[in-house]
Structure 1
Amino acid sequence: MANASGLFNPVVPSVRRRFSPCTGIYRSGFWFSEGGSRGIVCSTTAHGEQKLSSSESRPPRLVSRGCKLVGCGSAVPSLQISNDDLSKIVDTNDEWISVRTGIRNRRILSGKDSLTDLAAEAAKKALEMANVDPNDVDLVLLCTSTPEDLFGSAPQIPKALGCKNNPLAYDITAACSGFVLGLVSAASYVRGGGFKNVLVIGADALSRYVDWTDRGSCILFGDAAGAVLVQACDPEEDGLFAFDLHSDGDGQRHLNATMKENEKDGELGTNGSLLGLLPNGSSYSCIQMNGKEVFRFAVRVVPHSIELALEKAGLTGSNIDWLLLHQANQRIIDAVATRLKLPSERVISNLANYGNTSAASIPLALDEAVRSGKVQNGHTIATAGFGAGLTWGSAIIRWG
């Protein structure tokens, strides 16, 4: 099991309440002082390690920048598939689906629709809300497991936005945990790399990898894109308080879409290879999922991860204005809220309308909540993603 819950130096477990230039950092990468001021202290010596000689030692480094979420946007395909529509394809019905998942509709890419276009539209809306020009974007992180190019789709986003400064853009592949990882990565670039404006986009089209004859999985997934703009700010305005990230490869057997070799056709393989001499072409299988095991995994690890992140931030559940989880299953969302003792009126959910949109689900729900006035500037949000890999992670953030 891998664990990466530190932003700069995860081996330093020291937690201190008062500022000191020689203090170790939180395992989350963030340090908090009393009175609300914040800073990050990176120390090269962990507890229990042998100290370096004076010639080898390095002084602690204070990173005085904060980062905040200042804009959001989303986009969904026009084609809507209802539970009743699915009942014409597989043996199911609206009641069976809604009771077990909370889903009633989902949006699906069709025809000439492009996931990249959805991602660019969501990013454009985020920039407009933040009143930031595309040419001021320093970095684009596209969190997706379904790129439209094997080598990644992210560079197409700044192209579509008309960015003239050629900002770096790359994909992050972590399925339904991708957006949370994107937020933490954006914070790293802002705090440690001097970047000012980072677009974090969650976009997935899992419908392209669904077996539409499997009623256990085809009812779950939809397509969408959501984006936020993470912007550098003064430390006292910092809006990413703490995080907790994990992975467990043993759980991959419960949720995957593995690569398989295509069947050979005649004397030549489907990619033109000579039969028996060169590898044949390959593709990815449809999504394979053990729903019961994934459910057990989520209700076990997600609340614990949020509790760890809250502890690192020096906060409790009573400090949370909103709980925003990856929109996978309403029963999972309800179970986590119950564990954290959060009432339903403080839980954000739009699962019924869109289904599981993987990396897009958190920013899509956030965008709707912000634009409806539900989430307001200064609100504290506990968010968590979980899914294939298996991966999971949480972050405590403040909007605006």
Structure 2
Amino acid sequence: MNTSAARISAIGSYVPERILTNEDLEKLVDTNDEWIVQRTGIRERRIAAEEEFTSHLCIRAVLDLAASYKGTLEDVEMVIVATTTPDYPYPSVACLVQNHLGLTSAGALDINATCAGFAYGLHLANGLITAGLHRKILVIAGETMSKVTNYADRNTCILFGDGAGAALVEYDAENPSFEGAVLGSEGSGGKHVYRSGLAASIEGIPLEGEGKIYQNGREVYKWAVRTVPEGISRLLEASDVGIDGVDWFVPHSANLKMIESICEKTSIPVQKTLTSAEYYGNTSSATIPLSLQLAQRNGTLKYGDRLIIFGFGAGLTYAGLLLKWGVQD
């Protein structure tokens, strides 16, 4: 039974101006456009300027949201930012955004669920609003993945880009967006995709790199194409909704070939899938809101459409939500 009292009422996004093409990457590592497109579906990605950081992208995404939102953001009570690439260990990106927007009465916190971060943020916002603790929450996902990417590693540098997306979640008991959720984690797989930090090893396995991304793509792929279809099945069963009742599937845009495999296993037509990887790359927590904003802008995504968003990534962790789209044109 749906007991939500929260609706996603607005969305916005921002990507940096600089474009990094597959042809540009050919000058950095042993790769080529055909190889990258065949394996990932990615053609371009956006790259933040040297002095442009995650908070800057998040602020621009909120300003984009505000430009189309008919209400005010002055009464926002909480700012939640999903990111793995904060400007600083602290202060949080959320506090930097809160300060820039002048939201003097808003709480602020960052969450790190990697590529599942946006879905986790929406889930938290729904819980806080439905519980009656808050009435309006900004959920933002922003990443500057280029700053933690090793551009000598051809297996990872072809994947990642920078960007941010923002959603407004507010109280609406009559037309709630949230119809179901499934969340989970598999920490034993943390050694397959990580960014090195203070610890020298995971489960005795030495970590590579200095603050850069390391990924065992084969193992992550195997986990995702098994876990995501299972999660979707659980989500639909618990919500008593059939796959034919879903208008759009919005997965984390890690790799378009991976998404094709997930669609095949779930019987979701690829034509019903919204993605952002082709021209933005893998922007981690930001891929889902970027996909939603692209579809909103081109008229593909309509008010009242039912969709599944499903984030999955390092941790290993995942979160899937069944939603009714609440953003009006």
TM superposition score normalised by structure 1: 0.77
**2:101 aligns to what?**
161
**1:326 aligns to what?**
252
1:180 counterpart (98, 107, 119): 119
Give the SS at the match of 1:99. Answer: helix
Q: CA deviation at 1:258?
A: 2.1
Q: How does 1:86-97 map to 2 (within 5 A)?
A: 86-97=25-36
Contact 1:158 1:166 in 2 (8 A): no
Query: Does 1:246 pair with 2:172?
Result: no
Contact 1:255 1:290 in 2 (8 A): yes
Q: CA deviation at 1:307?
A: 1.4
Report the more deviating stretch, 86-95 or 331-340: 331-340
Q: Quote the sequence identity (%).
A: 35
1:102 & 1:352 partners in 2: Cα distance? 6
2:210 & 2:5 partners in 1: Cα distance? 40
2:322 & 2:167 partners in 1: Cα distance? 15
Query: Does 1:200 pair with 2:126?
Result: no
The structure, 1 or 2, with the larger RCO (C-alpha pairs under 8 Å, 6+ apart) is: 2
Number of equivalent positions: 317
Distance 1:284 1:132, change over 3 A: farther
**1:266 aligns to what?**
none
Contact 1:66 1:233 in 2 (8 A): yes
Query: Does 1:306 pair with 2:232?
Result: yes
Give the SS at the match of 1:237. Answer: coil
1:81 counterpart (11, 14, 20): 20
Q: CA deviation at 1:344?
A: 2.1
**1:259 aligns to what?**
197
Per-residue Cα deviation, 1:210-240 (whole angstroms, up to 9, x for no partner): 1110000000000000011111102x41111
**2:52 aligns to what?**
113
Q: Tell me, which stretches of 5 or more residues in structure 2 are unaligned?
A: 201-208
1:213 & 1:260 partners in 2: Cα distance? 22
Q: CA deviation at 1:134?
A: 2.3
1:129 & 1:300 partners in 2: Cα distance? 38
2:285 & 2:130 partners in 1: Cα distance? 24
Give the SS at the match of 1:136. Answer: coil
Q: CA deviation at 1:261?
A: 7.9
Give the SS at the match of 1:215. Answer: coil
Give the SS at the match of 1:395. Answer: strand
| One-letter amino acid of the counterpart of residue 189, structure 2 | G
Contact 2:125 2:169 in 1 (8 A): yes
Contact 2:54 2:93 in 1 (8 A): no
Give the SS at the match of 1:245. Answer: strand
1:257 & 1:117 partners in 2: Cα distance? 22
Query: Does 1:233 pair with 2:172?
Result: yes
Distance 1:161 1:297, change over 3 A: same
Per-residue Cα deviation, 1:238-279 (whole angstroms, up to 9, x for no partner): 1111111111111011000121489xxxxxxxxxxxxxxxxx
Contact 1:176 1:387 in 2 (8 A): yes
2:155 counterpart (216, 225, 228): 216
Give the SS at the match of 2:171. Answer: strand
Give the SS at the match of 1:145. Answer: coil
Q: CA deviation at 1:87?
A: 0.3
**1:56 aligns to what?**
none
Q: CA deviation at 1:284?
A: 5.2
1:317 counterpart (236, 243, 259): 243
Give the SS at the match of 1:243. Answer: strand
Q: Which has the higher helix share?
A: 2
| One-letter amino acid of the counterpart of residue 322, structure 2 | I
2:276 & 2:290 partners in 1: Cα distance? 9
Q: How does 1:32-181 map to 2 (within 5 A)?
A: 32=2, 39=3, 66-151=5-90, 152-163=92-103, 165-181=104-120
Contact 1:127 1:229 in 2 (8 A): no
Q: CA deviation at 1:312?
A: 1.4
2:134 & 2:199 partners in 1: Cα distance? 42
Contact 1:260 1:285 in 2 (8 A): no
**2:268 aligns to what?**
342
1:374 counterpart (279, 300, 320): 300
2:124 & 2:183 partners in 1: Cα distance? 12
* Bigger Rg, which one: 1
Contact 2:275 2:287 in 1 (8 A): no
Give the SS at the match of 1:335. Answer: helix
1:237 & 1:157 partners in 2: Cα distance? 28
Per-residue Cα deviation, 1:73-132 (whole angstroms, up to 9, x for no partner): 000011110000000000000001010000010001122223211101111222333323
**1:358 aligns to what?**
284
Give the SS at the match of 1:154. Answer: helix
Deviation above 4 Å: which 4+ runs of structure 1?
none
Per-residue Cα deviation, 1:290-331 (whole angstroms, up to 9, x for no partner): 010111111000111111111111101001000000000011
2:245 & 2:323 partners in 1: Cα distance? 11
Contact 1:154 1:171 in 2 (8 A): yes
Give the SS at the match of 1:244. Answer: strand
Contact 1:70 1:229 in 2 (8 A): yes
